[in-house]
């Protein structure tokens, strides 16, 4: 009797568990028992995805032409739980924590830390075997550009997510190579009979002339010789540090030509850069608002053409696509050195799509995701599609050349058309696709061309720091060091530019960086670099 009871209790518990489970994971599709899948399927099936989209896009992603075409080509209907980008992360986390796992999350937006946690908790599955067996398009990308294979592989050797790869130029010619590009007021230079500065001394003289000689001709000293937004990526002025050594970039990380990782903010040249800016500051050549202003304040003065020199990714966003401002090249410093410091930015995001452990149709799901990596499809995933009768199109499709061509925007904001019509999820656009599969977006082509002429010949560094997939332990350590160390670096730079004293305080500053963990930071970054490069 006792035994029977036990059996009954156990089966009851198992049954409860199963019910609980199936209730909890009822957002994932049933097992369709499909193998040797080819598209389109003879009988339509449904997969359940969580995704995000812009508030400008249709609330139901299946209203987008690009998804309608995919459904037709595959015979797979995607049942979406779609959240707008602003609340996506919170909703995604709630869904995953509740155990109501979808089949997959598309445009997942996961950080490395989150990916590794989900993998550890068994909420997402490793996908390297799926790539090998079922994903010829992605496999081809990884063969043609093998650096991405090491970048998507976790320290434990597994791949847990499908990446987003958008190349615009490669190597030094990568569009991200310089983000805080300097734009100088050409009208003012012409008006005052000045030449484009080529040294730091010449720049100082030009800025003084902007300040004192009323180049806008209104009788008032209302010109702002130089402005920037402190520590704000593309709007920061760290470009100027290149005249004094290794220079600086947004993550203070460069790699020497023999593969040594270096923190730029602990180099003597960095101190010289700070001293140069302090000199400009004392001469009142720097915008008094540079250390506090937000984007909108920066923008409004820019639109009024009050800047002599300012920094941003693309002048079109601040002073417009006109001839008033020119890209200023790198300046020779006091030692005659010219150097453009490369950033470590690239068009790459590791955690763009994951498959949940509730997914019972792995082959089908992998083959569907692989469609997104077809070159022609990838271009549309990223930027939007063609032939939509209800909506402005970003492309036209040349059937004979099998090529997508960017259409004129007619004043529309490219970002808005993209957000209304694209997918954004996992995809790969390699540089070699341009001219074959698609044309380049006009704004990117224009910027790349300028960088190639003005900046790239002066990039002395052969290496950049790659997008390393660190372990959970390394990420914990790096983030705890960086929280304090980078805040200290930022604070001292601002202080020294405003008040001087960089020389007097330099020794104490270096000691404090070590106390905050600089040496351990270098060790972790170096080992990440070495294993990614091997
Ligand atoms: Ca004036």
253-293 tens-digit pLDDT: 999 999 999 999 999 999 999 999 999 999 999 999 999 99
The mean pLDDT of 505-521, rounded to a whole number, is 98
Gap between the Cα atoms of 359 and 504, Å rounded: 62
Could you tell me the distance, in angstroms and rounded to a whole number, from the CA of residue 292 to the centre of ligand 1?
23
Could you tell me the distance, in angstroms and rounded to a whole number, from the CA of residue 200 to the centre of ligand 1?
24
Could you tell me the distance, in angstroms and rounded to a whole number, from the CA of residue 515 to the centre of ligand 1?
48
Could you tell me the distance, in angstroms and rounded to a whole number, from the CA of residue 304 to the centre of ligand 1?
12
Could you tell me the distance, in angstroms and rounded to a whole number, from the CA of residue 222 to the centre of ligand 1?
5
How far does Cα 108 stand from its chain's mean position?
14
Q: Which two tokens stand for residue 311?
A: 């920094």
Q: What letter would DSSP give residue 124?
A: B
The mean pLDDT of 400-421, rounded to a whole number, is 91
Superfamily of 10-171+347-431 according to CATH: Periplasmic binding protein-like II (3.40.190.10)
- Give residue 85's pLDDT: 93
Could you tell me the distance, in angstroms and rounded to a whole number, from the CA of residue 305 to the centre of ligand 1?
11
The mean pLDDT of 429-455, rounded to a whole number, is 96
Could you tell me the distance, in angstroms and rounded to a whole number, from the CA of residue 287 to the centre of ligand 1?
15
The mean pLDDT of 452-460, rounded to a whole number, is 97
Could you tell me the distance, in angstroms and rounded to a whole number, from the CA of residue 504 to the centre of ligand 1?
37
CB count in 10 Å sphere of residue 344: 18
Could you tell me the distance, in angstroms and rounded to a whole number, from the CA of residue 224 to the centre of ligand 1?
9
Could you tell me the distance, in angstroms and rounded to a whole number, from the CA of residue 192 to the centre of ligand 1?
12
Gap between the Cα atoms of 353 and 317, Å rounded: 31
Answer yes or no: is pLDDT of 8 > 60. Answer: no
Answer yes or no: is pLDDT of 318 > 60. Answer: yes
- Give residue 26's pLDDT: 56
Gap between the Cα atoms of 313 and 95, Å rounded: 37
Could you tell me the distance, in angstroms and rounded to a whole number, from the CA of residue 214 to the centre of ligand 1?
4
Could you tell me the distance, in angstroms and rounded to a whole number, from the CA of residue 204 to the centre of ligand 1?
18
Q: Which residue has better confidence, 16 or 87?
A: 87
- Give residue 2's pLDDT: 36
Q: Which of 473, 478, 484, 459 has the alpha carbon at shortest distance from 526?
A: 478
- Give residue 7's pLDDT: 38
Superfamily of 182-341+490-510 according to CATH: Periplasmic binding protein-like II (3.40.190.10)
Answer yes or no: is pLDDT of 466 > 50. Answer: yes
Could you tell me the distance, in angstroms and rounded to a whole number, from the CA of residue 454 to the centre of ligand 1?
30
* Identical fold, 10-171+347-431 and 182-341+490-510: yes
Q: What is the mean pLDDT of the chain?
A: 94
Q: What percent of the chain has pLDDT over 70?
A: 95
Answer yes or no: is pLDDT of 503 > 60. Answer: yes
Could you tell me the distance, in angstroms and rounded to a whole number, from the CA of residue 208 to the centre of ligand 1?
13
Could you tell me the distance, in angstroms and rounded to a whole number, from the CA of residue 201 to the centre of ligand 1?
23
Could you tell me the distance, in angstroms and rounded to a whole number, from the CA of residue 210 to the centre of ligand 1?
9
Q: What is the pTM of this model?
A: 0.89
Cis peptide before 529 (omega within 30 of 0): no
pLDDT tens across 120-164, in order? 999 999 999 999 999 999 999 999 999 999 999 999 999 999 999
What φ, ψ does residue 26 adopt, rounded to 5°?
-70, 0
Could you tell me the distance, in angstroms and rounded to a whole number, from the CA of residue 191 to the centre of ligand 1?
12
Answer yes or no: is pLDDT of 1 > 50. Answer: no
Could you tell me the distance, in angstroms and rounded to a whole number, from the CA of residue 273 to the centre of ligand 1?
29
pLDDT tens across 223-251, in order? 999 999 999 999 999 999 999 999 999 99
Residues 6+ apart with CB under 8 A from 67: 61, 78, 423
- Give residue 533's pLDDT: 85
Could you tell me the distance, in angstroms and rounded to a whole number, from the CA of residue 277 to the centre of ligand 1?
23
Could you tell me the distance, in angstroms and rounded to a whole number, from the CA of residue 500 to the centre of ligand 1?
29
Could you tell me the distance, in angstroms and rounded to a whole number, from the CA of residue 213 to the centre of ligand 1?
8
Could you tell me the distance, in angstroms and rounded to a whole number, from the CA of residue 306 to the centre of ligand 1?
9
Q: CA of 470: how far to CAs of 268, 343, 348, in Å?
A: 29, 19, 15
Could you tell me the distance, in angstroms and rounded to a whole number, from the CA of residue 386 to the centre of ligand 1?
48
What φ, ψ does residue 315 adopt, rounded to 5°?
-60, -25
Contact 424, 165 (CB under 8 A): no
Answer yes or no: is pLDDT of 19 > 90. Answer: no
Residues 6+ apart with CB under 8 A from 427: 164, 165, 166, 352, 372, 373, 377, 378, 381, 382
Residues 6+ apart with CB under 8 A from 463: 255, 256, 257, 259
Break the chain into its structural domains and give their ranges. Answer: 10-171+347-431, 182-341+490-510
Give the length of the chain: 534
Could you tell me the distance, in angstroms and rounded to a whole number, from the CA of residue 219 to the centre of ligand 1?
5
Could you tell me the distance, in angstroms and rounded to a whole number, from the CA of residue 202 to the centre of ligand 1?
21
Q: Which two tokens stand for residue 314?
A: 């693309």
Could you tell me the distance, in angstroms and rounded to a whole number, from the CA of residue 281 to the centre of ligand 1?
19
166 SS3 class: strand
């Amino acid at each position: 009797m006792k035994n029977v009871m036990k059996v009954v209790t156990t089966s009851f518990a198992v049954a409860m568990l199963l019910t609980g489970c199936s209730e909890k994971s009822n957002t994932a599709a049933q097992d369709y028992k499909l193998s040797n899948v080819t598209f389109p399927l003879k009988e339509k099936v449904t997969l359940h995805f969580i995704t995000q989209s812009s508030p400008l896009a249709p609330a139901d992603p299946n209203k987008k032409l690009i998804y309608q075409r995919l459904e037709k080509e595959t015979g797979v209907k995607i049942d979406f739980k779609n959240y707008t980008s602003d609340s996506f992360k919170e909703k995604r986390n709630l869904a995953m924590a509740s155990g109501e796992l979808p089949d997959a999350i598309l445009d997942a937006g996961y950080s490395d830390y989150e990916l590794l946690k989900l993998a550890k908790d068994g909420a997402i599955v490793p996908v390297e075997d799926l790539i090998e067996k079922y994903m010829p398009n992605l496999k081809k990308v990884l063969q043609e550009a093998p650096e991405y294979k090491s970048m998507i592989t976790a320290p434990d050797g597994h791949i847990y997510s499908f990446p987003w790869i958008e190349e615009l130029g490669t190597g030094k010619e990568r569009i991200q190579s310089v983000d805080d590009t300097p734009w100088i007021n050409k009208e003012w230079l012409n008006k005052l009979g000045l030449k484009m500065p080529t040294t730091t001394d010449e720049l100082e003289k030009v800025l003084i002339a902007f300040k004192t000689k009323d180049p806008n001709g209104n009788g008032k000293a209302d010109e702002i010789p130089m402005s920037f937004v402190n520590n704000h990526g593309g709007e920061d002025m760290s470009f100027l540090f290149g005249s004094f050594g290794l220079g600086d970039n947004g993550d203070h990380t460069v790699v020497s030509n023999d593969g040594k990782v270096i923190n730029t903010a602990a180099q003597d040249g960095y101190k010289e850069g700070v001293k140069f800016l302090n000199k400009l500051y004392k001469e009142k050549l720097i915008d008094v608002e540079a250390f506090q202003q937000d984007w909108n304040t920066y923008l409004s003065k820019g639109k009024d053409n009050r800047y002599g020199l300012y920094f941003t990714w693309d002048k079109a966003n601040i002073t417009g696509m006109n001839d008033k401002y020119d890209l200023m090249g790198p300046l020779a410093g006091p030692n005659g050195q010219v150097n453009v410091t490369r950033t470590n930015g690239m068009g790459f995001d590791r955690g763009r799509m994951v498959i949940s452990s509730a997914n019972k149709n792995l082959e089908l799901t992998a083959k569907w995701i692989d469609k997104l990596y077809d070159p022609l499809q990838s271009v549309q995933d990223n930027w939007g599609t063609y032939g939509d009768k209800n909506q402005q199109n970003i492309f036209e499709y040349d059937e004979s050349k099998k090529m997508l061509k960017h259409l004129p925007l007619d004043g529309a904001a490219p970002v808005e058309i993209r957000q209304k019509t694209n997918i954004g999820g996992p995809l790969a656009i390699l540089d070699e696709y341009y001219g074959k599969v698609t044309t380049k977006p006009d704004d990117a082509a224009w910027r790349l061309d300028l960088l190639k002429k003005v900046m790239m010949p002066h990039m002395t560094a052969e290496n950049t720091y790659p997008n390393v997939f660190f372990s959970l332990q390394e990420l914990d350590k790096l983030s705890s060091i960086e929280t304090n160390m980078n805040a200290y670096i930022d604070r001292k730079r601002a202080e020294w530019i405003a008040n001087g004293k960089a020389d007097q305080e330099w020794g104490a500053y270096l000691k404090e960086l070590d106390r905050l963990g600089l040496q351990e930071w270098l060790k972790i970054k170096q080992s990440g670099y070495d294993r990614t490069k091997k």
